[in-house]
Amino acid sequence: MGWSELRRIPNEYNETIKEIDERIIDLIYTRRSITEGRRFFPSSEQITQWSLRFQMDESQIRFIIHNLQDQVRPIIPDEIGELQNVLSIMKKSIVESCEYTLTHSMQYKNVSIVFVDIRLQNAEQREVHLKPNLLLEIISDQQFLVRRYGSHGGGAQTEMQFIISPPIPETLDNLEFSLVPSANFLERKIQEIVLDKQIDFN
């Protein structure tokens, strides 16, 4: 086979799966026609019920529902542009022994990058690793597209970054921020194997 030829990829697609896909696409179209870009998200109790009923992780269900939201939104530009300003936010909330702080936003020409600091209180009493399955939601008359941009940290402290388009305004009076549950549906579940037996080499 030459480089210019396309390799045939094994595919077992059939009429049964096609009919299922068509029903899924039709339901997504119907849902978006009803919601008209507004946020419709089930309660945590409902997600728990579906998780038990369909034998799926709650994080997977949240990811699916999140991606059913109408995607007719501003796009994230390829170029963030020059840095215009650093906007202090300093909004803090404490939930279940974790302190969440929206610290600041790097205001670029085309986007904003918002930083969130997360710290576990009384962390010295236990060994932990924070895993934030969270997405930033902005409640405003204006529509924003928000994506996770990066994170770093370890143990009882972590920092998350979110890229936002268009940039948030310099005045935050008409904006509300929330962190909502989210997760990567494609994330591989890694089994942890504890190696704690004595090993002798002869």
Instruction: Quote the pLDDT of residue 48.
Output: 92
Instruction: Quote the pLDDT of residue 123.
Output: 65
CA dihedral 28, 34, 37, 39 (to 10 degrees): -90
* CATH fold label, 83-181: Immunoglobulin-like (2.60.40)
- 0.75 surpassed by pTM: no
Q: What does the block give as tokens for 91?
A: 């909004």
Neighbours of 166 (CB within 10 A): 16
| 133: CB partners within 8 A, 6+ apart | 59, 181, 182, 183
Q: How far is CA 161 from CA 34, 82, 155, 171, 194, in A?
A: 32, 18, 18, 20, 32
10-residue stretch averages of pLDDT, the chain, 202 residues long? 60 90 93 82 90 89 80 68 94 90 95 94 74 87 86 84 93 89 58 70 70
- Residue ranges per structural domain of the chain: 15-68, 83-181
Alpha helices in 36-172 (DSSP H): 44-54, 58-68
